[in-house]
């Protein structure tokens, strides 16, 4: 039987479609490092000391407020959080037009940098610092200008002042600083602000201010009327124990806040977050009691570390810093095996939150084993 010879197709096949070019992200985004979250324990037996969270459960009044508000989650929250603005204004002794709320302090930092910077403008910040700051700057087309920390882990304000150029639009200052925990005195910050150009915004990140026991602690309320380029960032995540609800706020001059409110995300803070924050503000005595407990535990842990031979500086947040350099990841692996998670910064150091006393004691035990590996006999510890 002869093989069948295929004939021409019944219709002309359409030509293949031209190749569609891929969606083009801005090139600044392609090499941004991803945020590294605090490690989560693999089992219930592992304590989490990697995210600077409070070890206490939410305040009873906060839980009750969330429970009541849950019945209305089918409704949009207040656009700008008018009730919370009033509560925060009363709490800080300012007018409502000086307060802006947002989805955590980092979202407000992004709004500030985006509003201030055009492509090529510069954001001066300490390094190491909270890694979101350089990432947010670069994501918005600005140039990240890192200024190395001093040997004790604190801001080098003199070097930061020198780093300011005609392209600088924002400077980030954190007190206390994440991850080293070092703070800044009011006197030193005032001297720094005197040399900063008035058209450069200074973001003063006070996310951990409630834990700060610096003798000459920054009085941001006194700063703002004098230096109108200062914007203060606060958060409910740490001292108030509302990390899971993502709510922060900024304090600034009225004209600036009015403009920022126009370009902020509408309904940017959930109703649950707003009512929880208002409930927490009404529990000042209990919040301060919990903070005092964390500070006392921090002081106990720091004293024990110094007895072991570590130089941990003067940590003023609810965490401390071990300058382990290239050994940081190995130390973090050891702590997990021992029963706690910590936050390593490979090649630099390890940040460890203050948690339950049992968890803190486990971390101290690991530190005691490690201190002989990072310091020669008789050599004082120090930032690598």
Question: Is the same domain home to 120 and 179?
Answer: yes
- Please state the domain count of the chain: 2
Model pLDDT, residue 265 = 86
pLDDT > 90? residue 40: no
CA-nearest of 259, 360, 351 to 301 is 360
Find the mean pLDDT for residues 235-264.
96
Model pLDDT, residue 374 = 67
| CB 270 within 8 Å of CB 78 | no
Model pLDDT, residue 356 = 97
Question: Is the same domain home to 234 and 119?
Answer: yes
The neighbouring-strand residues paired with 147 are 126
Task: Report percent pLDDT > 90 for the chain.
Answer: 82
Model pLDDT, residue 4 = 38
Tokens encoding 100:
């802006």
**E-strand stretches of 85-127:** 99-102, 122-127
pLDDT tens per residue across span 130-160? 999 999 999 999 999 999 999 999 999 999 9
Question: Is the same domain home to 66 and 209?
Answer: yes
pTM listed for this prediction: 0.87
pLDDT > 60? residue 379: no
Domain end residue (candidates: 283, 310, 345): 283
pLDDT tens per residue across span 304-339? 999 999 999 999 999 999 999 999 999 999 999 999
| CB 151 within 8 Å of CB 290 | no
pLDDT > 80? residue 285: yes
Whole-angstrom Cα distance, residue 87 to residue 85? 5
Residue 338, number of CB atoms within 10 A of its CB: 14
- Alpha-carbon separation of residue 344 from 303, 328, 353 (angstroms): 22, 6, 12
- Residue 244: CATH number of its domain: 3.40.640.10
Question: Is the same domain home to 240 and 154?
Answer: yes
**Structural domain containing residue 308:** 37-55+285-374
Model pLDDT, residue 33 = 67
pLDDT band, residue 372 (cuts 50/70/90): confident
Domain end residue (candidates: 240, 258, 283): 283
Question: Is the same domain home to 103 and 243?
Answer: yes
Model pLDDT, residue 79 = 86
| CB 355 within 8 Å of CB 364 | no
Q: What is the three-class DSSP state of 166?
A: coil
Largest CA distance in the chain: 103
Domain end residue (candidates: 241, 261, 283): 283
Whole-angstrom Cα distance, residue 208 to residue 206? 5
Model pLDDT, residue 10 = 43
Question: Is the same domain home to 181 and 70?
Answer: yes
Whole-angstrom Cα distance, residue 336 to residue 157? 36
Question: Is the same domain home to 245 and 193?
Answer: yes
Say which DSSP state 318 is in.
S
Element (H, E) at 231: strand 230-235
| CB 359 within 8 Å of CB 47 | yes
Residue 156, domain member (yes or no): yes
Question: Is the same domain home to 339 and 197?
Answer: no
Find the mean pLDDT for residues 352-369.
98
Question: Is the same domain home to 217 and 342?
Answer: no
pLDDT band, residue 375 (cuts 50/70/90): low
pLDDT > 90? residue 251: yes
Question: Is the same domain home to 267 and 358?
Answer: no
Mean pLDDT of the chain: 90
pLDDT tens per residue across span 6-31? 444 444 445 666 666 666 666 666 66
- Residue 43: CATH number of its domain: 3.90.1150.10
pLDDT > 50? residue 3: no
């Amino acid at each position: 039987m002869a093989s069948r010879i295929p004939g021409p197709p019944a219709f002309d096949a359409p030509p293949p479609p031209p190749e569609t070019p891929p969606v083009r992200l801005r090139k600044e985004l392609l090499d941004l490092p991803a945020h590294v979250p605090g490690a989560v324990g693999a089992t219930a037996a592992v304590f989490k000391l990697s995210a600077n969270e409070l070890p206490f459960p939410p305040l009873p009044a906060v839980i009750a407020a969330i429970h009541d508000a849950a019945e209305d989650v089918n409704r949009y929250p207040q656009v700008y959080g008018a009730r919370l603005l009033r509560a925060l204004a009363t709490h800080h002794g300012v007018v409502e037009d000086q307060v802006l709320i947002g989805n955590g302090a980092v979202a407000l930092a992004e709004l500030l940098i985006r509003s201030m910077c055009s492509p090529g403008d510069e954001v001066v910040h300490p390094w190491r610092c909270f890694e979101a700051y350089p990432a947010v700057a670069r994501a918005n087309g600005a140039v990240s200008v890192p200024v190395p920390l001093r040997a004790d882990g604190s801001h080098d304000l003199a070097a930061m002042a020198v780093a300011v150029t005609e392209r600088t639009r924002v400077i980030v200052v954190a007190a206390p600083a994440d991850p080293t925990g070092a703070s800044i005195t009011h006197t030193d910050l005032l001297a720094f602000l005197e040399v900063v150009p008035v058209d450069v915004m200074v973001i003063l990140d006070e996310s951990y201010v409630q834990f700060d026991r610096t003798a000459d602690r920054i009085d941001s309320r006194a700063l703002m009327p004098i230096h109108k380029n200062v914007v203060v960032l606060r958060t409910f995540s740490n001292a108030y124990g509302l990390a899971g609800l993502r709510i922060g706020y900024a304090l600034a001059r009225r004209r600036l806040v009015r403009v920022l409110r126009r370009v902020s995300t509408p309904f940017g803070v959930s109703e649950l977050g707003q009512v929880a924050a208002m409930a927490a503000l009404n529990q000042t005595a209990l919040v301060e009691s919990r903070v005092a407990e964390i500070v006392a535990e921090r002081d106990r842990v720091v004293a024990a570390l110094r007895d072991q031979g570590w130089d941990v500086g003067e940590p003023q947040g609810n965490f401390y810093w071990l300058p382990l350099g290239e050994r940081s990841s190995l130390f973090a692996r050891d702590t997990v095996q021992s029963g706690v998670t910590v936050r390593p910064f490979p090649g630099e150091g390890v940040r460890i939150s203050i948690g339950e006393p049992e968890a803190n004691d486990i971390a101290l035990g690991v530190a005691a084993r490690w201190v002989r590996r990072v310091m020669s006999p008789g050599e004082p510890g120090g930032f690598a």
